[in-house]
Amino acid sequence: MKSIQAYRFALDLTPRQERAVSAHAGAARVAHNWALARVKAVMDQRAAERTYGATEAELTPTVGWSLPALRRAWNSAKGEVAPWWRECSKEAFNTGLDALARALKNWSDSRSGKRAGRPVGFPRFKSRRRATPSVRSTTGAIRVEPDRKHVVLPRLGRLKLHESSRKLARRLDNGTARIESATVRRDGSRWHVASTVEVERAERVPVRPTSVVGVDVGIKHLAVLTNDELVPNPRHLADAQQRMRSLGRSLSRKIGPDRRTGRRASKRWQRAATRLGRAHARVANLRRDGMHKLTTRLAREHGTVVVEDLNVAGMLRNRRLARHIADAGFAEIRRQLAYKTECNGGRLVVADRWYPSSKTCSGCGTVKAKLALSERTYTCTTCGLTLDRDLNAARNLAALAREVDTAGSGPVAGRGADRKTRARGLVAVKRQPGTASAGQTGTVLPQGRTTNRVLTKAH
């Protein structure tokens, strides 16, 4: 089975190498901004000509938005725009043009309705201070050295890795992997190289193929599992909040850049900004490490993992809980489980957004009409069951996966309602069979939805 996998390693660059990588990232930004200015100028000119009453045939000819068209235009003008273009690899300019081509296509598809999700805005110019520097190489010499401590990239040469690349090197030596591209990017104050690799892997089977686990994510506990396991929420951002505030106050007292007057930032401001960036990068690394360990363990041990389709964007509108929700990373947990269960031969079942997992009794199936967020203990008035509300939700999610298998190994309706929960038992809920084989993601959809309004589900 072939799959695309990324291998990310930290780099230990010399000052000369760091200047070279920064120059390549700057070249990508220059090409992006030049092409965007060209496209925007033609669009503004055509809009102005329409106000004069000109016909479509009389308008200024359009310019191509595809990557080949942008590349041809750049090659014809790079001698005047960037006389130093020979100092950088062609992959640097291709990085900026490819990013612009993708952004323009996403904007166009969003306006025409071809792209689902939230509206995509028109591309903006990249700033040297605010944009994250990165450069992507797709051709040329991209390899890992035999010592597994260095990587070779086009024009950048031999770069030292901070850690051993033995996991990637073993696959390359065995002929089960092929590097397609490599992206050098700066996160905080450290540069990383991420290689996109096509991997040939054997079919995997979870440790317990018949095991079903429901995962209820939350703020108090990062995840509550069906087997009564409570995964604590590390709250990395909350722990580092005091230090970040101190660093932010220190940064505000320094002389920073001013775009209105053209004032450049002082050296002290740059050092303070570097310290603050390192603090943010540390929080992101700790959060990423914990999520990967949790999702990898779940995908390897259990054959079926059940999660909820949470409206995270709507939950972030709650100004009192937004920071804690963002720190927990609900959407990232689901994203990682989606591809890890497929790679390990398992299955991910996504419960519908309107499925009342917290309001349903896991013992008798009675559904409460209302359940306040402050009620952390679920008490059933029918059977007298009393347990933690998150554990109750996790058990309902696991039971939902068993109903999927009973209905024909496919997704079923979470409940026959559109939005508002009505007090009733699960025996009255209509079911709809579907198809979802092992190794695929099954989505539990509702019946009779009559609105597209986005609401927030409280847990």
Q: Quickly list H helices, 236-266.
A: 236-239, 241-252
Which of 91, 216, 327, 352 is an active site residue?
Answer: 216
Report how far apart, in Å, the C-alpha atoms of 102 and of each of 24, 55, 106, 127, 185 are.
Answer: 20, 30, 6, 18, 19
The SS3 assignment for 288 reads: helix
> Are the beta carbons of 190 and 37 closer than 8 angstroms?
no
DSSP state of 414: S
Q: What is the DSSP string of 129-149?
A: TTSPPEEEE-SS--EE-TTSS
Burial zone of 262 (CB within 10 Å; 0-12 exposed, 13-18 middle, 19+ buried)? exposed
CB-based contacts of 94: which residues, under 8 Å, 6+ apart?
31, 67, 71, 136, 138
Instruction: Give the C-alpha distances (Å, rounded to integers) separating 120 from 70, 243, 332, 449.
Output: 21, 35, 21, 26
* The one catalytic residue among 98, 342, 352, 390: 390
Write down the catalytic residue from 98, 308, 327, 352.
308
Concerning whether 44 is annotated as a catalytic residue, the answer is: no
Give the per-residue SS3 of 18-38.
Answer: HHHHHHHHHHHHHHHHHHHHH
Q: What is the spatial distance between Cα 196 and Cα 142, in angstroms, rounded to a whole number?
A: 11
Cα separation, 19 vs 39, whole angstroms: 30
Residue type, 422: R
Q: Interhelix angle for 267-301 vs 241-252, to 10°? A: 160
In the annotation, is 375 catalytic? no
The reply to whether 216 belongs to the active site is yes
For the record, the structure tokens of 100 come out as 């612009």
Q: In sequence order, what are the residues at sequence separation of 6 or more whose Cβ sits closer than 8 angstroms to the Cβ of residue 255?
A: 263, 265, 266, 268, 269
Contact 195, 205 (CB under 8 A): no
**Would you call 367 helix, strand, or coil by DSSP?**
strand
Q: Which residues are catalytic?
A: 216, 308, 390
